[in-house]
Amino acid sequence: MRALMPKAPRATPARRIRRTRATRATIVLAAVIAISAAGCSSSSSSSSGSSSSTTSTSTTSTASAPASTSAVSTSQCGTKPGVQATGTPIALGAIATNQPGTSFTDIPNMAAAYFACVNANGGINGHPVKLYIETEQTNPAQIAADAKQLVQTDHVVGIVGNTSIIECSVDSSYWQKLGYDIIDSGIAPECWSTPNSAAVNMGPRYSSDGAVQYALAQHVNKIVFDQSNVPGTGYIAAGPAALAKAASVPIVQLTENVPISDADSVAIKEVDDAGPDGAVVLNFTPPEALVILQAAQKLGLEDRVKLWGCSTPCNTDFLAQSLGPKWNSKLFVNAELLPPDVTNTATMNLYKAILKQYGSAVSGGIGSFSQMGFTEAEIAVHALESVTGAYTVQSVNAAFKAVSNFNTGMLCQLWTYGSYSMHIPNNDDSTVTPDNGKMVTAQGCTQISSVDPQIAQYRSLAGTAASAPAS
C-alpha cells in the first residue's frame, strides 16, 4: 500500500516546480482571504429577508419602532450630563457564548454601550466603568479559564452580563468561593438555583412555562413541547410537565438535534402529535424556530393545531417579518421583557437612543437580547451608585445583592437580588403575537404559575414582587 505521505522528497525539477507553484498559490490564497475578509467584514450585518421571492426585504437590522414622541437625550443615563468620567475605572466582567450558530455577544455589548453612555455623562461618581468581555464556544475548560482571566488578570470587581449555555454550571462554585454575585441573562439551571446568580430574564424553563401557561389558558387539550437538544433539556422540560399535569392535559416531550436539517419531518411530527385541538410549544433559538415554522407553513400545516407557542427567543421583529401574515394570532410568544414596539416609556426610549448612539457593536438591534444587556447594566449602575468608599469585590457585590424592588422599566415586576439561596427575580411576563411584521401584545403581564416547583420555592423565599409601574 502506498504511503500516505510521499517518501523523503528527492526533488526532481518538475516536481519542485509544481510544489513551488502550489506553495505560491497557497500564499496568494492566504493573501486574498486576508484582504477580502478585512475589506468585506463590515458588510456582514445580517438581516433577514429572502433574496428573490417575498416582498419584504429589510436591509437594516433595527426594526423601525413607532415614531417615539420625544427625542430622548442619552445624557439621561448618567448623573452629570456631558461630563466625561476620568477617575480610576471600575472593572466589570462578562462571559458570553459566541460560536457559529449561537451568539450572545449582543447582550454584553449592549451593556458596554450603556456603560459608555454613563461614562460620557459623569460615570459613577466620576469613575468610568470598563467591561471586559470574554467569549467562549461552550467548552467548559475555556469557560473556567475565562472566569479566571477576568478575576486574576483583569481584576474585575463584579460580573454583569453573562449569557452562556453552560457558564453558570461551570463557574458557579468559583463565583461562590470568591464572593461574586453576578447579574446575568441565564440559561443553565445553576443561573437560577444558586445563591450567586440573579438573572434579568426568565430563561428557557420559566419562559417555556409562560408559553405553555398561555396555551393552557386557551383550553387546548394536548401540549407538544419541543426543544433543542442542548444541555439542560430535562431541567427545562420539568416546568411544562408540571404545568400540564396540574391542568390534567397530556404533554408530549420532544427534543431535536440542532442545527435542524430535516425541518419537514419535525413539523409533521409535532402537528401529528398535537392534534387539531392541541398546541405546539417550541423552545429554540430564533433561526431554528424559524426553520420549523417555515417548514410548517410550506407544508400547509400551520392551521392543523389550535395554536403555536414559543419561548422568549422567538420574540424578535425579525421573526415576525420572516414569518409573514399567516402567523398573526396563530403564534404566541412568551415575552420576558416589555415589548419595545408597543411600549412608549421614557426608559424604553432611552434604551433605543443608547442603542442608536453607542450600540454599534450590537448586531441584532432592537430586541430581547439588547434589552437584557440594557437592563443588566442599568441594575449594575444603580447598585454602583450606592457604593460609598472604594470599589472592591466586597463593596460592589454587596451593593448588587442589596438591589431591592428596583424598577428597571423593562420588566413586568420590580427586580430584587437579595440574599436568597436561589433567584428567579423575573417571574412575571406577557405574551406577544406577530402582527404583520411586528410583535404586539396578546396578553399583558401575567405571573408564572407556582405549579412549577422551582417558582413555588422561590416565592416561598422571596415573596411575590410588586408589579412595576410604567416608566
Partner 1 sequence: MPPWSDFEPFIVSGLALGGVYALSGVGLVVLYRATGVLYLAFGAVGALGALTAWELGQKGAPGWLNDLVCVAVAAAVTLGYGLIFGPALAKRDPLVKAVATIGLTLVLYGLMDLLWTTSGGEARSLGLPTDNGGFSIGQIQVNWTQVIGLAAGVVITVGTGVFLRYTKLGTAMRAMANDREITATLGVPVRRVEAAAWLGCGVLAGVAGLLLADLVALDATTLTFLVISSLAAVLIARLRSITLTFAAAIVIGVLHDLLTPITSLTNYRDMTPFVLAAVGLLVMPRSRVMTQSREEA
Partner 2 sequence: MRATLIRANLIRTNPQNATRQKPSLIKAAVIAVLLLFTLFALPQILSLYYIDTMTQVAVYSMVTLALGVLVGRVGLVSLGQVAVLAIGAWVAARLLFATTQPYPVILVEAGLITMAAGTITGLAALRLRGLYLALITLMLAGAITVVLATVNFPNGGHGFLGYNGSLVHIPPIRRPSIASTDPAYFRYAVIVAIVMFALAAAHIKTKPGRAWAAIRQSEPAALAAGINTTLYKLWALALASFITGVAGGVLAGAVHYLYSIDFPTQDSITLLAVTLMGGVYSMWGAVVAALLYQFLPALLNNWGVSADWLIILFGLGVLQVLTTAPAGLADQVPRDLARLGRLLRSRSRSRSRGRGRTRPRSAP
Site of interaction with partner 2 (CB under 8 A)? 1-11, 19, 22-23, 26, 29-30, 33, 134-142, 144-146, 148-149, 152-153, 165-166, 169-170, 173, 189-190, 192-194, 229-231, 233-235, 237-238, 257, 454
Alpha-carbon dihedral of residues 339, 341, 345, 350, nearest 10 degrees?
A: 100
Identify what 9 binds: partner 1, partner 2, none; CB under 5 to 8 Å per kind: partner 2
Q: Which is nearer to partner 2, 165 or 319 (CB)?
A: 165
From partner 2, partner 1, none, interface partner of 64 (C-beta below 5 to 8 A by class): none
User: Is residue 75 exposed (0-12), middle (13-18) or buried (19+ Cβ within 10 Å)?
Assistant: middle
By C-beta, is 198 or 266 nearer to partner 1? 266
Neighbouring residues of 74: CB distance < 8 A, sequence distance ≥ 6:
117, 121, 350, 353, 354, 357, 358
Please identify, using beta-carbon distances, which residue of 1 and 71 lies nearer to partner 1: 1
CB of residue 100 vs partner 1: minimum separation in angstroms? Answer: 5
- Rounded to the nearest whole angstrom, what is the least distance from the CB of residue 197 to partner 1 in the complex? 21
- Smallest separation, CB 52 to partner 1 (Å): 3
Tracing cell 410604567 back to the chain, one arrives at 470
**Separation of alpha carbons 317 and 423, rounded Å:** 29
Nearer to partner 2 among residue 238 and residue 440 (C-beta): 238
Interaction partner, residue 193 (partner 2, partner 1, none; CB < 5-8 Å by kind):
partner 2
Task: Check residue 11 for interaction with partner 1 (CB under 8 A).
Answer: no
Chain positions 303 to 342 lying near partner 1, rule: CB under 8 A, are 313, 316, 318-319, 322
List the single partner that 283 binds among partner 2, partner 1, none, CB under 5 to 8 Å by kind: none
Strands (E), 235-287: 251-256, 278-283
Measured CA to CA in angstroms, residue 403 lies from 76, 406, 416, 461 at distances of 21, 7, 6, 16
The CB-of-123 to partner 1 minimum distance in angstroms stands at: 28
> Radius of gyration (Cα) for the chain, nearest Å?
24
Name the residue nearer to partner 2 (CB basis): 158 or 189.
189
- Strand 307-310 vs strand 278-283: parallel, antiparallel, or unpaired? parallel
Distance between CA atoms of residues 318 and 290, nearest Å: 10
Half-sphere exposure of 109 (CA within 13 A, CB side): 21
The only residue of 7, 12, 40, 177 in contact with partner 1, by rule CB under 8 A: 40
Q: Which three cell numbers stand for residue 6?
A: 510521499
55 interacts with partner 1 by CB under 8 A: no
Cβ neighbors of 295 (< 8 A, separation 6 or more) are 263, 264, 266, 267
Query: How far are the Cα atoms of 162, 204, 222, 463 from residue 331, in angstroms, in the given order?
Result: 29, 17, 16, 32
Decide: is 125 part of the binding site for partner 1 (CB under 8 A): no
Smallest gap from residue 144 Cβ to partner 2 (A): 6
Q: Which of partner 2, partner 1, none does 48 bind, CB closer than 5 to 8 A by kind?
A: partner 1
What span, in angstroms and rounded, lies between the C-alpha atoms of 366 and 73?
18
Q: Taking CB under 8 A as the rule, which mask of x and - marks residues 222-261 in contact with partner 1?
A: --------------------------------xx-x-xxx
Enter the DSSP assignment of 287: H
* Count of chain residues binding partner 1 (CB under 8 A): 74
How far are the Cα atoms of 20, 69, 292 from residue 259, in angstroms, in the given order?
41, 42, 11
Q: Are strands 331-335 and 428-435 parallel, antiparallel or unpaired?
A: antiparallel
According to CB under 8 A, which residues from 63 to 102 bind partner 1? 98-102
Q: Which residue, 122 or 286, is less far from partner 1 as judged by CB?
A: 286
Between residue 375 and residue 434, which ones bind partner 1 under the rule CB under 8 A?
none
Partner whose footprint covers residue 291, from partner 1, partner 2, none (CB < 5 to 8 Å by kind): partner 1
Taking the least distance from each CB to partner 1, the nearer of 345 and 363 is 363
To partner 1, the closest distance from the beta carbon of 359 in angstroms equals: 12
Tell me the backbone φ, ψ of residue 329, rounded to 5 degrees. Answer: 55, 30
Site for partner 1 contains 27 (CB under 8 A): no
Q: Closest CB to partner 2 among 135 and 294?
A: 135
